[in-house]
Amino acid sequence: MTPPAGTITIAGKTVSRLGFGTMRLTGPGTWDDPADRGTALCVLHQAVHTHGITHIDTADAYGPHTVEHLIRDALYPYPDHVLIATKIGMVRPAPGQWRPLGNPFYLRASVEASLRRLHVDRLELCYLHRVDPDVALEDQLAVLEALQDEGKIGHIGLSKVTPEDIRRAGKYLTIAAVQNVFNSDGPFDPAVKMCEELSVPFVAYRPLGAGRLARTNGPAAPLRWLLTHSNHIAPIPSTSQPSQPSHLAEIVAAVQGESV
C-alpha cells in the first residue's frame, strides 16, 4: 500500500509523512469516551489498513487515557511498520483543562501506565508533552533517558518547545522528533528551521488550524503547503465529530497522488 504523501523516517522507522493525530477521538473537551466508540475504532482501523497511514500520534492526556485504549482495541497487534507515538507530562483536572506535570515520579508512572494501556514492552516514540516550568528541564529529561536505558522508551521527542528548549535538551539526549503547532495561517515557528538544520523530524500538529483552514476549500491547500514547505515536516491532522471516517478519507484524498 502506497503511503499518502510519501514517507519520512521518525524514531528509526520509515512511516507515512501524513500521520494521524488522535486527540479528537474523545468526547467534548478531549474528555472521556467518544459518543460512538465503534466509529472511533473504525477510523483508526481505516487509517492504517485502508489509507496506509503508518504514523499514529496520541497522548495519555487524551481522555485522559481514552485514546490509548482505543488504539490498542483497534490496532493491536500492531503491524511492524506502524509507529505508535504517545506523549506524557500533562494532567487533566477537568474537560478542556490541561496542566503540565513534570515531576520525575509522575513521568515514570505515566510511562509505565502507557505501556500497559497500549500493551507493549516499549514506547517506540515517547514525547514530553509539555515542559513543566516548575521542574528543571534536565530533571524531566533525565527520567525519560533512564527509562530509555531500561528499554521502556525507544526514542524521545519534545512537544510545544522553543529553539532554546531544543538546544538545552540536545545537550543531554538525542531528540527523535519535535512536535509543535504549525500551519499556513499561523506565525512562523523558528523551531521548524532549527529542526531542519539538525535533521530532526518536525511533526506539525493542528495543520488544518483545528479545521478552520479546511472549511472553505477543503484540506488540500493547507496540507500541500506543509508538505512542500520542507521534507522534514510530517503533519498529523485529526478528524472531526461526527463523520470521522468520511473526514479522514477526505484528508487522505487531498494529498493522495500529489508529488511532494
Amino acid at position 169, single letter: A
- Average the pLDDT over 231-260 and give the result: 80
Look up the pTM and report it.
0.96
Give the CATH superfamily of 7-255.
NADP-dependent oxidoreductase domain (3.20.20.100)
What amino acid positions are annotated as catalytic residues?
Answer: 62
**pLDDT > 70 fraction of the chain, expressed in percent and rounded:** 97
Helix/strand/coil for 211? coil
pLDDT, tens digit (0-9, with 9 covering 90-100), for 100-138: 999 999 999 999 999 999 999 999 999 999 999 999 999
Q: Which residue has the higher pLDDT, 244 or 242?
A: 244
Q: How many CA atoms lie within 13 A of 47 on its CB side?
A: 35
What residues contact residue 180 under an 8 Å CB cut-off, 6+ apart?
Answer: 159, 160, 161, 189, 191, 192, 202, 203, 204, 205
The three grid cell numbers given for residue 113, joined into one nine-digit string: 501506565
Q: Collapse the DSSP code of 36 into the 3-class scheme (helix H, G, I; strand E, B; otherwise coil) and give the result.
A: coil
- Averaged over 68-95, what is the pLDDT? 98
In this prediction, residue 260 has a pLDDT band, given cuts at 50, 70 and 90, of: very low
pLDDT of amino acid 214: 80
Give the pLDDT of residue 209.
86
| CA–CA distances in Å: residue 83 to residues 53, 61, 71, 98, 219 | 10, 19, 12, 25, 24
Residue 197, SS3? Answer: helix
Q: How many other CB atoms are there within 10 angstroms of residue 230's CB atom?
A: 12
Q: Where are the domains of the chain?
A: 7-255
Which residues neighbour 201 within 8 Å (Cβ) at sequence distance 6 or greater? 8, 9, 10, 176, 177, 178, 195, 232, 233, 234
* pLDDT confidence tier of residue 2, bands split at 50, 70 and 90: confident
| Residue that wins the pLDDT comparison between 247 and 259 | 247
H helix runs in 65-136, sequence order: 66-75, 104-118
Q: Is the pLDDT of residue 170 over 70?
A: yes
Name residues whose C-beta falls within 8 Å of residue 252's C-beta, 6 or more positions apart in sequence: 4, 18, 51, 53
How much is the pLDDT for 257? 56
The model's pLDDT over 177-221, given as tens digits with 9 standing for 90+, comes to: 999 999 988 889 999 999 999 999 999 999 998 778 887 778 899
| Tens digits of residue pLDDT in 24-81 | 999 999 999 999 999 999 999 999 999 999 999 999 999 999 999 999 999 999 999 9
